[in-house]
Amino acid sequence: MPTGGPHIRVFDGVPRRTGKPLDMRTLNRTFEWRRGIAARHQELAEQLAGPRPRLTACPVCASAELAPFVVIHGFPYAECAGCGLVFSQEPPEADAIKALYSADKAKRTPQDTIYVDEALHARRVQVIAAPKVEFIKGTIGRAGGTWVDIGCATGEVLAAAQAAGWSPLGVEPDPLHAAFARGRGITIVEDFVSLDQSTHLQGASVVSMFNMLEHVNRPGDVVEMVGRAVPAGTHCVIEVPRHPSISSFANLAFPQIATRHIYAPEHLHVFTERAVELMLERAGFTAIGVWTFGQDYQELISSVAVSARLPESPFFQALGDLTNGVQQAIDDGGFSDALLVVARRN
């Protein structure tokens, strides 16, 4: 039975912020979009169907004590009793994962249709990326030097980091995203996340991985690679989908329409705070700031409505007006679906 994870909050003694107001205009996700994306994920998952090796140990803490959590589009997810990680137990092969982020339309992820848009990009930089960069700057206590963002997508965070005083450098495997970021004047290295990126990380003052570690088979190895490549005092920023959360619960209840958080085939892991703490410790980093926030309430009410095939009625819109108040209560209670951690190399 799903437990919701053994460690809701860790990072004892580390300064923590909870909650982040959500600007609904940045979401741009209609019920129709959700249904379409869920159907496309189902198709992608079917293309990747067939025998895949089944993991018998947690990819983060190596515990073999695993329990089934949920099956999404034919992909089983397990929950680790050791660190609480929820992970794809029969993940796609590495080549199939790479193809999701290639220019091949037949194999690539449908998720980016919402992100590669000029006006929406500018708004997301201002409303989503800038507050995160502000939090990181406040936690570190200064700006400046090179900020390397691994898996930078369209460069939203780097645009905000540049405005705050850093020199931006992005590493991005998706050629469409890379081209979009270059068009905004950001230097991009087109490369899939590998375990040999030390050349890109030379001289970095900040290395960030926003919503990236959930896409790679061995996330702990990537964090350790960063730890080996940078000197003491370098900062590392990690943002990942978080468990236990209300969004995890929504995915558990409505797996057939999962379009974010726990969704196959792309998200291989949804992390507990303990799992992130473990990866950072092993890589030689100490957390200095934690921020939890999310879109749990929206995920829950949208999942209920889409599952019941309800229209986007004024009644639904009125429930949406409760978003920030309810989400703050969820964040304060420890069930946010997003976790951002700032850490320093020891």
Per CB under 5 A, residues contacting Zn ion are 58, 60-61, 63, 80, 82-83, 85
56 or 199, CB closer to Zn ion? 56
80 or 237, CB closer to Zn ion? 80
78 or 169, CB closer to Zn ion? 78
Q: Smallest distance, Å, CB 83 to Zn ion?
A: 3
Q: Which of these, 138, 2, 190, lies nearest to 81 by C-alpha position?
A: 2
Q: Which of these, 106, 105, 113, lies nearest to 30 by C-alpha position?
A: 113
Place of tokens 């390397």: 148
Phi, psi torsion values for 115, nearest 5 degrees: -100, -30
Helix/strand/coil for 147: strand
Report angle CA 69, 270, 223 to the nearest 5 degrees.
Answer: 140
Contacts of 172 (CB under 8 A, 6+ apart): 151, 152, 153, 155, 178, 181, 188, 189, 190, 191
276 or 330, CB closer to Zn ion? 276
User: How far apart (Å, rounded) are the C-alpha atoms in residues 1 and 123?
Assistant: 41
234 or 245, CB closer to Zn ion? 245
Q: Smallest distance, Å, CB 97 to Zn ion?
A: 20
- For residue 68, give Cα distances in angstroms to 36, 96, 135: 27, 24, 36
61 or 283, CB closer to Zn ion? 61
Q: What element of type H or E holds 118?
A: helix 118-124
57 or 322, CB closer to Zn ion? 57
What does the block give as tokens for 143? 């700006």
Q: Smallest distance, Å, CB 333 to Zn ion?
A: 23
Q: Smallest distance, Å, CB 82 to Zn ion?
A: 4
Q: Smallest distance, Å, CB 297 to Zn ion?
A: 28
Looking from the CA of 39 toward its CB, the CA atoms found within 13 Å total 7
Q: Smallest distance, Å, CB 242 to Zn ion?
A: 15
Q: Smallest distance, Å, CB 208 to Zn ion?
A: 24
* Count of CB atoms situated within 10 Å of the CB of 35: 14
Contacts of 228 (CB under 8 A, 6+ apart): 198, 283
224 or 299, CB closer to Zn ion? 224
Q: Smallest distance, Å, CB 216 to Zn ion?
A: 16
61 or 125, CB closer to Zn ion? 61
What does the block give as tokens for 274? 């303990």
Q: Smallest distance, Å, CB 153 to Zn ion?
A: 27
Looking from the CA of 260 toward its CB, the CA atoms found within 13 Å total 24
Place of tokens 């879109």: 295
Q: Smallest distance, Å, CB 272 to Zn ion?
A: 8
Dihedral class, residue 265 (left if φ above 0, else alpha if ψ from -120 to 50, else beta): alpha
61 or 338, CB closer to Zn ion? 61
